[in-house]
Amino acid sequence: MRLTASSFVLATLALVVTVPAQAQQPLSVDVRNKTVPTLCAEDDNVYLTFQNPKVRHFRVEARAPAVIGSIVQDSRAPDFTNCTIKDQPPGPEDKVERIVLFEDDAMQLVGYRHSEFWRKGDVPVRVGDREEKAIYLLQLFSKTPRGPYEHLVLYPLDGYWRLRPLPPARLDEVAYGTSVLIGQIDEKERPYVAIQSIRFTPKSKTFDLTFPAGGQASVRVASLSEQATAVEVTFENPVKRKPFAAVRSMYVTDVNADSSQVAWRAPSDKGWRQKPVMEFRSGRAHDFWLGRGVASKHNTSAPDTALFDFQPE
């Protein structure tokens, strides 16, 4: 099934109206698709990279999908059908520690240590004068009238970010879906971003990252609503020879996917281009959208993802 005209208009119109005022035209970036087929709904087989050696600033939004208003029953549980990987609960030898790194009336930042996490390493996390080591997961909560709501997670050891908007009133929460990598993209067991250290500034809701290869980046939570959660990214120096960002997602079929369609605009385009994610190969874009036009039986409420406002400073 292809993205319908009406649902695509809803998705792309949201992208157009949320672009902040700019002093200059955005840069175009090279988008390359390294997606491979899979039968497993827990496999991040969708993989797209973004590259331009001049980019120092861009924006990421996780947007409520076009089908959010029609969801009667959400589906967020793992689905290991046709998977070789299995969901293994922590064993008795595992030690998982929950640490509240910061809390006030508006937000809470929580970190986790896990003695048996699969990727080894140590990325110090600092908030004010407090520093914690061996954190494998960070969770940022916003305190809402309905209670604390987790809307952002970061895995410091491989640089994976996940965002989600606030849920509509009839849902307790919405699913996570696509992951975003921010910084120089390297590949080992899978694509990752190496981070040397993290500092979180509560007043501005900013994560400042330092990289072992050199340079820094700031990731600021710019907005949070039922429509979208947005972060603004600023690099100290551009990433020169490798992609500066990537997205990882899942596609089995159109009705079993975290993302199934891509849409993009290049500077010379008078309208949007779109393709199924499995058919898109590469392109130049200053606005890029990855999402769905039909409901999925898995992660039904997972947001669409947009990257745009690529700027040299």
What distance in Å separates the CA atoms of residue 103 and residue 123, rounded to the nearest whole number?
A: 21
pLDDT, tens digit, for every residue of 205-237?
999 999 998 899 999 999 999 999 999 999 999
What's the gap between Cα 71 and its chain centre? 22
Q: Which of 75, 73, 48, 131 is nearest to 257 (CA)?
A: 75
pLDDT, tens digit, for every residue of 243-293?
999 999 999 999 999 999 999 998 889 999 999 999 999 999 999 999 998
pLDDT at 12 over 50: no
What secondary structure letter does DSSP report for 120? -
Q: Mapping DSSP to helix (H, G, I), strand (E, B) and coil, where does residue 206 land?
A: strand
> What integer pLDDT is reported at residue 9 of this predicted model?
39
What distance in Å separates the CA atoms of residue 274 and residue 191, rounded to the nearest whole number?
A: 25
The residue extents of the domains of the chain are 5-82+94-311
> What integer pLDDT is reported at residue 79 of this predicted model?
87
- Residues of the chain by 3-state class (helix, strand, coil), percent to 5: 5, 40, 50
> What integer pLDDT is reported at residue 121 of this predicted model?
76
Distances (CA, A) of 281 to 32, 274, 276, 291: 6, 12, 10, 16
> What integer pLDDT is reported at residue 22 of this predicted model?
45
pLDDT, tens digit, for every residue of 27-47?
999 999 999 999 999 999 999
pLDDT, tens digit, for every residue of 102-120?
999 999 999 999 866 656 6
pLDDT at 1 over 60: no
| pTM attached to this predicted model | 0.89
pLDDT-derived band at 3 (thresholds 50, 70, 90) equals very low
20 C-beta neighbours (distance < 10 Å), count: 10
